[in-house]
Amino acid sequence: MTIQRPYTHALNRLKEAGLRPTRQRLALARFLFDAGPRHVTAEQLHSEAMAQHVKVSLATVYNTLHQFTDAGLIREIVVDSGRSYFDTNVAPHYHFYCEDDGSLVDIPADAVHLARIPNMPRGTELSSVDLVFRLRRQQERHVAA
């Protein structure tokens, strides 16, 4: 019976992506990947790290998240200018974004059918499609009697 150390999964993910497993990268990777698929902001991840007594600056969290994105470990989902979520599910899929509470929910790729994709400019090819459906709670409408 093989016993895995707590950082084994995170360590393997970093090595497979060609990233040097520094103490801070390992800690952040563990927060990201050990809990299963999730969406997280840099601020949320920083708060988690601080709550677990992992000394890391917010700037380092941002830098690490962008390194993980560049390495293909996570995807960045931009919902507003200045507001991004980082998604640990890198398989093709889309999102619902609830403007009321800031939640992000996955939509399976096969649940959305794109009828027509425009021709790409010469010399380019389609890399991916990011699609975010923005939602807000319906306002109750009172009808005068």
Q: State the pTM of this model.
A: 0.84
pLDDT of residue 139 exceeding 90: no
pLDDT at 142: 66
Percentage, residues of the chain above pLDDT 90: 66
End-to-end CA gap in the chain:
72
Q: Would you give the DSSP letter of residue 103?
A: E
Instruction: Return the ∠ at Cα 43 (arms to 38 and 45), rounded to 5°.
Output: 45
Give the pLDDT band (50/70/90) at residue 57. Answer: very high
Q: How far apart are CA 54 and CA 46, in angstroms?
A: 9
Per the prediction, the chain carries an average pLDDT of 90
Answer whether 133's CB lies under 8 Å from 97's CB. Answer: yes
How many other C-beta atoms are found inside a 10 Å radius of the C-beta of residue 97? 20
